[in-house]
Amino acid sequence: MAGIADAVPPWLLDVTDVLAWVVIGAFVLGAALELTARREDAADGSLAAVVGAGRRRLEYARRVSTGAWALFALFWLLLFPHFAFVHKSYVEGVLALIAVPASLYAGYLLWQGRDTLFLLSRSTAIMGLIYLPSRRSRPSRSPGCESPRRGGC
């Protein structure tokens, strides 16, 4: 008898692994644009030129970061079946589903002008740059680490 876990495609985790890097890349790009927008130097050095150049770059940062939040929502939506049906962790499944509207709402508020959410976007970028490489590192994937009966880590 095939269960619902068999209905979850095996390639889904490969897609979410790639999507995670794309999402973090979008957050990093948005953070870089936002930080440079606040430090923009204009060629002529006038205050009006500096403010105008910074505002344009800040709008680019806002668009990129809002897109990153939308992609983050998609990431959590794609992970829901894996958590709920493969791992049978309904807590993680429910939290993944809650993360979808929460991410979309954060992107919406950022789009509407809530600049304080740039800090959360930068924090998400930093978290991803720390977490994703360590999650895929070889020492944590060695056979000794996966089976405590054979020595563990």
H or E, element range at 76: helix 47-81
Which of 95-104, 115-124, 138-147 is the least confident region? 138-147
Non-local CB neighbours of 144 within 8 Å, separated by 6+ positions: 150, 151, 152, 153
pLDDT for the residue 1? 37
Domain boundaries, the chain: 11-134
- What does the pLDDT look like over 5-46, one tens digit per residue? 666 787 888 899 999 999 999 999 999 999 888 775 555 555
> CB burial class (10 A; 0-12, 13-18, 19+) of residue 152?
exposed
Q: Report, as an integer, the average pLDDT of 116-135.
A: 93
Distances (CA, A) of 17 to 21, 22, 34, 65: 7, 9, 26, 20
CB atoms within 10 A of CB 141: 10
Closest CA to 82 of 10, 135, 1, 3: 10
Non-local CB neighbours of 118 within 8 Å, separated by 6+ positions: 30, 31, 34, 61, 65, 110
- What does the pLDDT look like over 66-112, one tens digit per residue? 999 999 999 999 999 888 888 888 899 999 999 999 999 999 999 99
| Beta carbons of 99 and 73 less than 8 angstroms apart | yes
Q: Indicate the pTM of the whole model.
A: 0.78
